[in-house]
Copies of this chain bind each other. A is one copy, B any other.
Amino acid sequence: MEAENNHARGTSLAAKISTDLRRELTDGVFKPGDRLPSESALTREYSVSRTVVREAIAILRADGLVEARKGAGIFALETSEGKKQPFKDLTTERISSVIELLELRTVFEVESAGLAASRRSAAQIEAILEAHHHVGECLATGSPTRDADFELHLAIAEATQNRRFPEFLQLIRSGIIPRGELQGSAPGSRPKDYNLHLQEEHGLIVDAIIEGNAETARERMRAHLRGSLDRYKFLLRSRTLSPEDINLS
């Protein structure tokens, strides 16, 4: 007797109300700073008890979508830096998650490049160059660069001499790329100059690391990942988006 209808979502009233409000928030019905209806107003609107409303609000608060100020009300927050987000894809939740993750990753990779420039050994320089070369091969043959790209970033992380850095990078990767390995999909969807930028930016980073210029390595890695974020947002607009497309290189 399996209860098919008993999914994690949809069962409780609180879940329904929280998803309703979440949609209104991402749709822009409530803009950042706006005050949402009070709890008692929501109890009337949905004809539920205040318990249910509070559970729904608790979920939104935990997700950082709203902020409750005692005595004042519940206010919509803005989602991390994104000032203008007039368009709302249906996968907004996952999108913001990826962007948040990328921000976290940027923090580490920037420092990773800096430390690598300071500490790299000869053998590690060799490994970085080889990974860099391998990315170039993938670009030339038109095969997917995702894995090769990751190997390059991993080689840089290993050059920090701190094994926590490559460990963390692999952790992040598993968080970004859920499971599907179906990477044979159309590679032609990417802009032509994407590849040029990719290899050029990589080359600049690698040079700085070899020269031992930590500050330059940081700057270039930061620029590289900022470009990655922009490319990701561009892909978002081209409306075909699956997590597997995300290279984040």
- Given known pairs A121-B67, A174-B81, the reply for A101 and B8 (CB within 8 Å) is no
A80 near B174 (CB under 8 angstroms)? no
Contact status B108-A107, CB under 8 Å: yes
A167 and B160 alpha carbons, distance in the complex (Å): 23
- Tell me the bound Cα distance from A163 to B103 in angstroms: 11
Interface residues on A, range: 35 or more
* Neighbouring B residues of A12 by C-beta, 8 Å: 58, 61, 68
C-alpha gap A122/B71 in the complex (Å): 14
Contacts of A59 in B (CB 8 A): 58-59, 62
Check: A130 CB closer than 8 A to any chain B CB.
no
**A247 interface residue, CB < 8 Å from B?**
no
Complex partner residue of A87 from B54, B165, B168, CB under 8 angstroms = B168
Contact status of A100 and B62, CB under 8 A, knowing A69-B6, A175-B81: no
Contact B119 A111 (CB under 8 A): no
Which among B100, B121, B167 is the interface contact of A162 at CB below 8 angstroms?
B100
A161 to B76, CA, bound (A): 13
Q: Decide yes or no whether A123 CB sits under 8 A from chain B.
A: yes
Residue of B nearest to A107 (CB): B111
CB pair B100–A163 under 8 Å, yes or no, is: yes
CB of A15 within 8 Å of the partner chain: yes
Cβ of A63 < 8 Å from any Cβ of B? Answer: yes
Q: Is A86 an interface residue (CB 8 A)?
A: yes
**CB-CB under 8 A for A80 and B14, given A87-B168, A167-B90, A174-B86:** no
Interface string of A52-81 (1 = CB under 8 A from B): 001110110111100111000000011111
A-B contact pairs, 24 of them (CB 8 A): A6-B69, A12-B68, A14-B58, A15-B58, A15-B62, A18-B62, A51-B51, A54-B55, A55-B55, A56-B58, A58-B59, A77-B161, A80-B161, A81-B174, A81-B175, A81-B178, A83-B175, A86-B171, A97-B164, A101-B164, A103-B162, A104-B108, A104-B165, A107-B108
Interface residues, chain A, with chain B CB atoms under 8 Å away: 6, 8-9, 12, 14-15, 18, 51, 54-56, 58-59, 61-64, 67-69, 77-81, 83, 86-87, 90, 97, 100-101, 103-104, 107-108, 111, 119, 121-123, 160-165, 167-168, 170-171, 174-175, 178
